[in-house]
Structure 1
Amino acid sequence: MRDALEEVWVRTLYVVTHPEATHHVDGLVGGWFDSDLTGQGLAHAGQIADALAGRLPSHGVVEVFSSDLLRARRTAEVVADRLAVRVVFDAALREKSFGEAGGRPKAWLEERFVPPPASGERLRHDEGVPGAETRWELAVRAYAALDRILQSKAEHQVVVTHGGTATFLLAAWIGMPIGAAGLVGFQFSSGGITLLREDDRVHSRRVVQLNDVGHLT
């Protein structure tokens, strides 16, 4: 039985979607295409870092994890520099690979894209683009990445990733079985911060704030 005076351990996890990248403004498919932040995106990375610094305590361990793609890496480095910590890069936090479509005009992808069925096997659906990942492959690595992150007992963690990947990180966070995630979709904006929290008393994983962009100007 827990002593009434025993302190409850709380984990706070911030999922950050990288801000504006060059492929956004150039109308290109992202995925594993290694686009950089735009000037505005870099400015927003600074605003993300300031927002996190204002929310995180001045003491205690803070961990920063990031996709290794340039647009996420640059964001994470700005955040980590502001928080005076190092970044752990993980390729499993990358966006979905769009294969041959990566770096091409979005119209090229749209002409070849095969939408998933309304029901049935959606995650393993072949979208019709050579070399592209299925959403199942994205989901498997996103779930595994979150599992590795949660093995740490750090009370404060920041994860810098991409919109598509963030959906599956959130599904994994709430304990959704991966096989049930075929219909799930959350709207994440560039530069948004999602706040997640759990404690070791009731062990519930809460979505405290989804895709906050109030820090961006």
Structure 2
Amino acid sequence: MKDIFVVTHTQSVHHEEDKVGGWYDTELTARGQEDAAATAERLRAFAGEKEVEIYSSDLRRAAQTAAAIAKRFQRPVAETADLREISYGVAGGKPQAWLDARYSPAPDDNRLDFSCGIDGAETRRDVAARVYPCVNAIVARPCETQIIVTHGFTLTLVLAAWMKIPIDACGFLSFPEKSGSITHLRQDEFFRNRAVVRLADASHLRC
């Protein structure tokens, strides 16, 4: 049995400031730190006494969430830029209203390769091209219980990689989430099926 828990980072400073995230590198708020500790406790309950591996985006908000989890499990964290949020290019760190006024939604006939009109922004395909190999390498490791800490948009592509959905089929894919959510993935030993046991669970966080 392989169990993977995918965590979205908890509340970050850019949330409170209503600024564009992406690769804009902000820390957790006090609430984010509290929620990260609560997330760590829930993960400990899910994993029991099993030995775990922990992987994280290298952006501070994810790395700090992962650090709280690592402290609870007494395990190290492997950080990687491959698990980062989608980059919003020049919009990163600007007021959300700035991006909203300039953002063009991807058309139905070009969902994967449209950069939404923002200079330097990543496309869905760009994100998938770094996330898929990273997830595949993590899953291929023999450890039976793994934790991946990432971001809201990236969560969808982590799940798509796990479910072996071809990148070309990801144009319309989206899994809603909340900061600090936990998604539980499991592959059984006999049929080798890959299941989404729990999607974006945030019941461990206070309202």
TM-score by length of structure 1 reads 0.93
Distance 1:13 1:125 in 2: 31
Gaps of 5+ in 2: none
Distance 1:65 1:155 in 2: 14
Distance 1:86 1:127 in 2: 37
Residue 73 of structure 1 corresponds to 63
Distance 1:203 1:56 in 2: 20
Identity %, equivalent residues: 43
Deviation at 1:57, TM superposition (A): 2.5
Residue 29 of structure 2 corresponds to 38
Q: 1:204 aligns with which of 193, 197, 200?
A: 193
SS, match of residue 179 in structure 1: helix
- How many residue pairs get matched? 206
What are the within-5 Å matches in structure 2 for residues 61-210 of structure 1?
61-118=51-108, 120-210=109-199
Deviations 1:10-38, CA, capped at 9 Å, x for gaps: 00000000011011111000000001101
SS, match of residue 170 in structure 2: helix
Deviation at 1:174, TM superposition (A): 1.3
- Alignment RMSD, CA only? 0.9
Whichever residue aligns with residue 119 of structure 2, its letter is P
Gaps of 5+ in 1: 1-9
Larger Rg belongs to = 1
Deviations 1:167-205, CA, capped at 9 Å, x for gaps: 001111112111010010110110000000002310100
Deviation at 1:61, TM superposition (A): 2.6
Distance 1:44 1:135 in 2: 29
Whichever residue aligns with residue 17 of structure 2, its letter is D
SS, match of residue 127 in structure 1: coil
Distance 1:72 1:126 in 2: 24
Residue 38 of structure 2 corresponds to 47
Distance 1:55 1:184 in 2: 27
Distance 1:91 1:121 in 2: 26
Deviations 1:130-182, CA, capped at 9 Å, x for gaps: 11111110111111111111121101000000010000011111121110100
Deviations 1:26-65, CA, capped at 9 Å, x for gaps: 100000000110100000000001111111122x431000
Deviations 1:60-111, CA, capped at 9 Å, x for gaps: 4310000000000000011011101000011100000101000000111111
